[in-house]
Structures are given as C-alpha cells and as structure tokens.
Chains A and B, each alone.
Chain A
C-alpha cells in the first residue's frame, strides 16, 4: 500500500485553505448546511489524508488500506472536497453537489457510490463502532493496517460511543485512532451545557484509552499526535482536538448559527476575501 508522501506544513496549509474555500463556496451555491462543523475539522482531515493515511486513490478498495470513517457524518461536505482534491474522483463531479438525483448531499452514502467513502454515516454514534469492527477485522485477517474515526463532541452524547469505547479497550484494539473534533457546540447549544462532557480527555482515559489533547488547527500538533497514537501497542487511541466551529472566517467562528445557515452572496464574498488574506 502506498504511503502518503509527507507534505510540508506550508503545503498542508495551502491545501487546507483550498478545502476551506471550496466548502464555503459549495455551501453557498448548493445551500448545504453544517458549514461550521465542516470548517472546524479542515486541518484534521488535511493531515489525515495528505500525511497519515496509507491509502491509494487509484486503488480505493485495496484490502490492506487504512480506513477512515467520518463518524460525524454531517461533515460530509468537507470530506467530499478532501476526497476530490486527494484524487479519489474528478473534482468536476462536485458540480452536481446538492442537485436532485446526486449522491453528493448532506451525508456520506454507503460505499460504492463515492470512491473513498468507507461507511454511510450521519446517524451519530454509529461510525466509531463500525470503525472498531473494521479494526478487529484487520486483526483477524492479519492485515497490518489502521482504522480512524472522526467524531464530533455532540456525538459523544450517544451511548453507543461509550459502549464502543469500553469494547475497544476491553479487546485492546490498538490499531485504532479516534479523533474528537471538539468545537464546543452541538446543533442547538454548547455541548458542555447539554451534557457534562468535561473532563472529556480524562473520560476517554478512564475508559481505557490512550488520550492526547491538542489544538486541532495546529498541523504540526495533529501530525505528532497521530504519530504518537501509532506507537501505542496495547490501547486504542483518542485525540481530543480542540477546535473552533466555523474556523477561518471571522464572522462564522464560534457562532452556532452556522450549524444550519448557508452564506448569502455578500457573506460568501466576505468569507472568500478573508481566506485570500491568509499569508502562506
């Protein structure tokens, strides 16, 4: 299995900027919501797809590939941009995004429709257990690969996440890295105020996981945490990544209205102008 070519931080930043711009443009054009949730995980996905995952876009179903499951399925709009940019399919396919009859809508469909999509998600609390099943399958089959799942903090409301957490620790599923995109919001409220999430990293630790806490927009920190997780040989790993919902656009950052809102033409222009100002 081809390993992703290491990318420089500057190159990763450039990719992240492109992904961010395209995600916002698509949200505005196709009226696709969950923009804030997409923008909070751009650096996480960029690092995974350009630096961490052992994947080959030309051979998306290779049995020995690493598997990535977007457990926070409402982040599909940004995942689709990542998969296109990474070469799983032609970027032109995204012109159909949001149109009637397209598979490119608000959540990932089951495998077989969009190359690179490993599981249909969107029903929260569902992707992490599927990723654990994939990791256990790799162990049974003697395949030296790894599984990854990206969760939202709101998703940690679901009981099945904690069922999965206990099972993975009990079975010593160490070829697994979960990442929580901890942007401090869920659909309608602060995640800490809806359910007592804190201390989140300590909770995972108490459930038997190797837990790391990082700035989820710091590319170097993400890369280091993913690498450290790979060295753990007895426990599943979790990276609690502190992020900002709507990251990258001043008037979207930490404003939960952008969970459901999509940009009007003025807002789109303002957002893109801000993103052009980034000095790489």
Chain B
C-alpha cells in the first residue's frame, strides 16, 4: 500500500478502526489519504463510493464480515451499481480468526458478493497474488473485493507466475485428479500432495485466484488435459462459492465427463472453537481430509 500510494495521488486508505500500527509507514507518506472511519462500516463503504465518484481510488480495509455482509447494501448500491472504483479488502477471512467465534468467521462472502453485478471477487492464495490483484484493481478502476487471510501465511506461488485477477495458476502437475482451490487454504492442499506422493498418487493443484472473473481459458485447458475428477477447495461454505461456480461453468459448457467434489464448510455455523488448524481439522478441511478424499476417488 505504501508503494501504491506513492505511485498515485488518487489512492486512499479507509480503515474500520483496525490495523493498529500496520499503516504507520503508509501514514508517513500520505497522512491526508488515510482515514480511520471508526466502527461504522455502512458509512465507510458509502463514503468510499462518494470518494471514488470524485476521482479517488479508495481501498476499504477491515475484518471480512464487517466489510462484506455488515454493509452489503452499501456495497451493492454505492460501489457496484455506481461502478465506483473501490477496492474492498476483507482481512482474516474464512476461519483465519477461528477462535473469535462465528461473528468473526466469513464463510458466505464469496457466495453473496459474486452474485452482485460489476464486482470482481478475488481470494489470493498468498502475498504475491494479493499484490498483483490489488495493483490491478487500483490501476484498472473496477469495483473489486479481495478476501485475504492473516499475517504470516506462506507464499505458495512461483515468483514468475502470471499473476492477476482472473488468472489461475497450476501449482503442481498431476494425473487424473485436479484440485482447484482459492485462498490461503491451498497450503493444506500442498501438504496433502506430499502425503499422497508417499503413496504414489500425483495430485494436480491449481490456485484459481479469483472467482469472478473465473479463468475460463484455464478451465478449458484442464478439461483438455483429461482430469476426470475435480475437487474444489475453499475456506467457505460449500454453498455458492468456488465449487458452485465450477459446477455452473461445467453445466454451461455442457461438460458431463468430469466428476466434482466440493470441499468446504457444510451448511452450519461453527461454534466449537479452537485455532484455525483445529477448526480446519474438525470441519474436515485440512491436509489429511483432502488426502483421504483423493484416495477414495
């Protein structure tokens, strides 16, 4: 963000009373273009739309449920309908803040936001993908939602990968079974592939990067490559997210030779808490669960 704000005098950052000290370097560079909007997300989102309509490029930042479902009307009407060039960043998405309870989980945001016209919906797997998507969203000026995890997550993509919104990347080659994932949970898939290699199974893994737009060209290549089973992986409800988007795509393309399994959280709230690893395990969304599913196919 510091680099982006230095490069463009239009970039502004709006925070919902979060990011203590995180934006200090940004504030040194552009103090007038940082606004702590308080714990008032509806106003923050509409304000961002107003700023964007006046020629600025605001980035709105707070914890995912509060920058999405809390102010959904303001996203739909203020940002998306107006095609206002606002970038909405949701931090701590999925189960990143598992211990904080259901109020802080975000397992519906992809489904809800991808139904809104004009809005791009991204879930970068790592910091490289995030940086590329953020830069592109600001430069191109299209309303964009970017859902990110938490600090300290590993980089998964190769530095020379073709990154950007709507660009999928193959992380591992394989045969027969392809896992298509979105977001930092792809690290579980990579761990699963290590477990599976010990048993002689090569799992192909791809990061989709964004759910809207979906990389259709890449999906066609996956069909041509002959993967007979696809597994979708997302830290999100099974309803309406990446898995649903893939099913819709296959249906629209009239492709019925591929079997899809959707890995995600079932249709329930999670209230038996622990850290992110604990909940991923209890919800059947970790490396061993992925490996078990692959072996059952």
Contacts and interface: CB of A to CB of B under 8 A. Distances in A.
B40 to A, nearest CB: 4
A81 to B, nearest CB: 24
Interface stretch (B44-52, B94-102, B165-173, B224-232): B44-52
Given A130-B78, A133-B48, A171-B35, A141 B42 contact: no
A137 B51 contact: yes
A137 B77 contact: no
Contact of B49 (A130, A139, A170): A130
Interface string A135-157: 11111110000000000000000
A125 B42 contact: yes
Interface stretch (B53-61, B187-195, B240-248): B53-61
Interface residues of B, number: 30
Contacts of A67: 54
A129 B50 contact: yes
B43 interface: yes
Contact of A167 (B12, B40, B53, B55): B40
A84 interface: no
B250 interface: no
B48 A110 contact: no
A126 B53 contact: no
Contacts of B40: 160, 163-164, 166-167
Nearest to A149: B50
A129 B47 contact: yes
Interface in B16-50: 32-33, 35, 37-38, 40, 42-50
A180 B151 CA distance: 45
B135 interface: no
B43 A160 contact: yes
B269 interface: no
B54 A141 contact: yes
B47 A110 contact: no
Contact of B33 (A63, A120, A140, A170): A140
B74 A133 contact: no
Contacts of A132: 43, 47, 50
B82 A119 contact: yes
A118 interface: yes
B77 A133 contact: no
A41 B142 CA distance: 36
A170 B42 CA distance: 16
B234 interface: no
B156 to A, nearest CB: 36
B38 A140 contact: no
A160 B42 CA distance: 6
Contacts of A133: 46-54, 58
A161 to B, nearest CB: 9
Nearest to B41: A163
A67 to B, nearest CB: 8
Interface in A219-272: none
B77 A138 contact: no
A137 B50 CA distance: 8
A47 to B, nearest CB: 23
25 contacts: A69-B50, A110-B82, A119-B53, A119-B82, A120-B82, A129-B45, A129-B47, A129-B50, A129-B74, A130-B53, A130-B78, A133-B47, A135-B50, A136-B35, A136-B51, A137-B54, A138-B54, A139-B32, A141-B55, A141-B56, A166-B38, A166-B40, A167-B38, A167-B43, A171-B35
Given A133-B48, A140-B56, A164-B40, 7 more contacts: A111-B53, A119-B50, A119-B82, A126-B77, A130-B46, A163-B43, A170-B38
* Complex A-B, nearest 7 residue pairs according to Cβ-Cβ distance, in ascending order: A133-B50, A129-B46, A137-B54, A133-B47, A163-B40, A163-B43, A130-B50
